[in-house]
Amino acid sequence: MLNTNLRFSFENFVVGSSNQFAHAASLAVANQPGNSYNPLFIYGGVGLGKTHLLHAIAAQISQRTPGLIVEYLSAETFINDLIHAIQYEKMRDFQKKYRSIDVLLVDDVQFMATQERTQEEFFHTFNALYDSQKQIVVTSDKVPQDIPELEERLRSRFEWGLIADIQLPDMETRAAILNKKAKVEDMDLPSDVCHFLARHIQSNVRMLEGSLTRLKAFAEMSEEPISVDMCNNVLKDILSPKRSFISIEEVIRIVAKHHGLKAGELKSPKRAKPISRARQVAMYLCRELTSESFPEIGSRFGGRDHATVIHGVNKITALLEVDSDLQREIQQLRKSLMA
């Protein structure tokens, strides 16, 4: 297992349109703490990279300017520290500690809402640091105005600086994250498996990572290479349920239409190039989007055998590596089918 700080670095953070802004703001803060955006408020749903960015900021600042006191903590830690200080009458130490920090990174600040005393202490800490131009970065699952029971004065402080959001990553970013993670973990991740996972696991990045971890473990135990079949098997419970609603017939219909052909032509024995190419594309998408087996897919394409389907899928998989027109076509077809 890699060291957390190393793993949660800027280097290991994949940038896509969903997180570009938060990433750029984090980098700016890491490069010039206290002098760019202050406070920086990062918000976004669960498992989208907020904690990762906070650690990346902390690591980069500590590395570049070892003298600075950089403190990463969750809102819960702040609350517990405060409770402890109150209980043992150590408020002075508490205040001294927090007010001597140069870079304060507070994760999941929404947990401070409803905690009156915490908010008050945090408000004072915030002011003390802000007034001495110390950097503050906080994350939350919502924008300040949507955090219920957050005191108005804190809310307005959070809105003083820059508010950056992280959205769900798109398909390409999900694939890039998987590839990066596989590389870091020294895993062999075939590109059809990568696309399959990126397509079906859309909820958040943590789920994507979890799926890789499970595949890796399963591949090691079974001594089999990672494959789409293995995904269907091992990840049954997390693969998006939408998939089971896409039928082979639907794939054939949509692909045929896209190519200006009739569904019957894809099932026929005809081997003219445009028809056989469309047929292979349809087989590829059946494999990716339905949970049907090779023999089942073959039988629906006019009784072809499983080897023909495997050949078709492999052919398209190989072409996808080099043919950007085909990539776009598949992308478009996926969209129509998943719509």
Residues at the interface with Mg ion (CB under 5 A): 50-51
Residues 208-247, mask of contacts with ligand ADP (x by CB under 6 A): -x--------------------------------------
47 binds ligand ADP (CB under 6 A): yes
SS3 105: strand
46 binds ligand ADP (CB under 6 A): yes
205 binds ligand ADP (CB under 6 A): yes
- Considering CB distances under 5 to 8 angstroms, the limit depending on partner class, which of Mg ion, ligand ADP, none binds residue 205? ligand ADP
CA distance linking residue 37 with residue 29, whole number of Å:
6
| Stretch 69-98 residues interacting with ligand ADP (CB under 6 A) | none
Q: Which tokens sit at 278?
A: 């469309």
> Which residue has tokens 């920090």?
101
Stated as kind and residue range, the H or E segment containing 41 is strand 40-44
CB of 169 vs ligand ADP, minimal distance in Å: 7
Q: Which tokens sit at 227?
A: 């494959």
206 binds ligand ADP (CB under 6 A): yes
- Is the dihedral angle over the CA atoms 254, 260, 263, 267 positive or is it negative? negative
Residue 215 Rama label (left phi>0; alpha psi -120 to 50; beta): alpha
Cβ distance to ligand ADP smaller for residue 8 or 94: 8
How many CB atoms are closer than 10 A to CB 32?
13
280 binds ligand ADP (CB under 6 A): no
13 binds ligand ADP (CB under 6 A): yes
SS3 225: coil
Cβ distance to ligand ADP smaller for residue 19 or 118: 19
Q: Which residues bind ligand ADP (CB under 6 A)?
A: 8, 12-14, 19, 44, 46-52, 177, 180, 205-206, 209
